[in-house]
């Protein structure tokens, strides 16, 4: 039996957006993993403007393929608020 593939549904260098995205997924009971959060300050000069380390890239939130559509829908509402 193989591992379940994960899909990136959100990526950002903004720690506030990452916290909100995690809270929205937790409230919806969608399991997720966060990739790269602990690495942001370890390489190069850490986080620059925009909050992303240029070596490691943005923090990514990943969910299973089965939950990806629901997660994207939930997180799309957050992105719409940013555009307003």
The more confidently predicted of residues 77 and 46 is 77
Residue 47 lies in a domain: yes
Domain count, the chain: 1
Task: Give the domain CATH number at 68.
Answer: 3.30.70.790
Contact 66, 5 (CB under 8 A): no
Percent pLDDT > 70 in the chain is 68
Contact 28, 74 (CB under 8 A): yes
Contact 40, 13 (CB under 8 A): yes
Residue 54 lies in a domain: yes
Model pTM score: 0.73
Residue 1 lies in a domain: no
Instruction: Give residue 73's domain range.
Output: 6-83
Residue 76 lies in a domain: yes
The more confidently predicted of residues 82 and 25 is 25
Q: Provide the pLDDT confidence category of residue 10 given band limits of 50, 70 and 90.
A: very high
Give the count of alpha carbons within 13 A of 81, CB side only.
8
Average pLDDT estimate for 39-58: 53
Residue 22 confidence (pLDDT) above 80: yes
């Amino acid at each position: 039996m193989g591992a379940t593939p994960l899909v990136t549904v959100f990526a950002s260098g903004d720690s506030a957006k990452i916290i909100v995205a995690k809270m929205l997924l937790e409230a919806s009971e969608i399991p997720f993993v966060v990739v790269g959060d602990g690495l942001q300050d370890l390489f190069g000069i850490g986080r620059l403007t925009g909050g992303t380390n240029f070596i490691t890239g943005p923090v990514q939130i990943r969910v299973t393929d089965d939950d990806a559509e629901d997660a994207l829908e939930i997180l799309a509402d957050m992105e719409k608020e940013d555009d307003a």
